[in-house]
Structure 1
């Protein structure tokens, strides 16, 4: 265990030296970053886990979209129309917001909550005003979702339903495959969903506060001997006034990828 800004980074493993290396290198990756960060890692193969601020809430942005699809499949028993399948592909693969809201309204908040309850995602809070990207998520709950999708328990979603969601996450368009997969083993199957949102409740007259970028990434890595997942949530990704405001989005992405590279190279060096 090593502390960063008063919070403990907790890593445990069947391989004690691996846990120590992960704790050290994740800490180093965050040492110079101003982002607020939460992390959860699980690896079933090496029996390794890491957590940092796992239960703190963040605006979900687009990482809520696998939840929406999971809730729809849970509510319909996996029976989707051709139109719903088309909307689901646009929602996950292309992160299309218009398609998401059609499905969000179709499934409804009660069914979304039913899915969250069934999945054990007890700390996820649906936005009362109905803004899907303002759903409050935690790294622990998003990792719970990845474990559900890559597991073998049919209690919440059946085998075909889980494979359907993972298949869409595997097909996410190339320019949205950044974040948690950075540095992943070349022979791993990568399933990813990212989210980014610029929003601030603070005084925009403050020259440093040009909009608070929230940048999130979740990825499940499977195939061969791989069976692990990583969730990194960030906010407070800001830049000086004289820079492009979109640099805050890039800053958050760089924070996430620093963590991801530390994780992948320690779990599976040389791959």
Structure 2
């Protein structure tokens, strides 16, 4: 997580997104073909790969990943069930909860809500996140929103919301439903979430987008923060959209790193392995 900075463009884009929602449909990723056009791909986490990354500290750093390919209905897991704290990837949940509250109240996002979501997602602004978290009602309200959004393995906490505990599978399920339906958000609000997640500041465009070929779209949020309990958490969660429709949701989580810079190569090694299997 980083403090807010260079947020002017994020504020402008947030205002544009709110205006667009008021006048035109914001589309989420195209749905997958039905019926599926091919069977499960080779498991990116099978064979030699787990032992290979363990040689670079994956087990020590609790590296865990989950991928759901909605074009085939196939799951792929690495160290399934491992719990890691979210750092800033919890901001996707805060965004979705803010959109859900506005929908419950029968209104679009306010300018203030849109500005704060833009700063929170694009630049990982922590003050904007804390402000939205408090406006939503704090940890008990966030737990309720999490239940409604289908997060069954995520335990929200405060005052340090970045210590929210989760699993890669829970995050991958959540992002899949946010993009393709299954959360109680309408089409346009899911499209707005997709718009925000694709507009990430250049220096944060790492993580699950690694290895994705040109022509595919990626919406994601990274989490990166040091802590007394768990070292640096280096996480990346998102959705990779196939130009032909559908795609895959992916979550890669890790902790115990000495720095963010040490953790990113591992997260991207996992992401590239997935892309090599699922994007050809």
Alpha carbons of structure 1 residues 94 and 25: separation in structure 2 relative to 1, 3 Å: farther
Is 1:33 aligned with 2:38? no
Is 1:230 aligned with 2:250? yes
1:187 counterpart residue number: 215
**Within-5 A mapping of 1:38-187:** 38-77=64-103, 79-108=108-137, 109-127=139-157, 129-153=158-182, 156-187=184-215
Q: CA deviation at 1:199?
A: 1.1
Q: CA deviation at 1:134?
A: 1.1
* Structure 1 unmatched runs, 5+: 1-12, 202-210, 239-247
Q: CA deviation at 1:231?
A: 0.5
Find the residue that maps to 1:235 and give its secondary structure.
coil
Q: Deviations over 1:4-61 (max 9, x none)?
A: xxxxxxxxx9977833554136425513221221110111124432112333221211
Alpha carbons of structure 1 residues 21 and 39: separation in structure 2 relative to 1, 3 Å: closer
Q: Deviations over 1:105-160 (max 9, x none)?
A: 10023332222111221111111x4211111121111111111111134x511111
CA distance in 1, matches of 2:110, 2:190: 17
CA distance in 2, matches of 1:26, 1:45: 23
Conservation of the 8 A alpha-carbon contact between 1:29 and 1:259: no
Alpha carbons of structure 1 residues 112 and 31: separation in structure 2 relative to 1, 3 Å: same
User: TM-score scaled by structure 1?
Assistant: 0.80
Find the residue that maps to 1:263 and give its secondary structure.
helix
CA distance in 2, matches of 1:21, 1:96: 33
CA distance in 2, matches of 1:57, 1:170: 26
1:257 counterpart residue number: 268
User: TM-score scaled by structure 2?
Assistant: 0.78
Higher RCO (C-alpha 8 Å, min separation 6): 2
Q: CA deviation at 1:252?
A: 1.0
Find the residue that maps to 1:122 and give its secondary structure.
coil
Q: CA deviation at 1:178?
A: 0.3
Find the residue that maps to 2:127 and give its secondary structure.
helix
CA distance in 2, matches of 1:54, 1:80: 36
Is 1:268 aligned with 2:279? yes
2:228 counterpart residue number: 200
Q: Which has the higher strand share?
A: 1
Conservation of the 8 A alpha-carbon contact between 1:189 and 1:222: yes
CA distance in 2, matches of 1:20, 1:124: 26
Q: Deviations over 1:43-97 (max 9, x none)?
A: 1124432112333221211000010111112122163211111111000111100
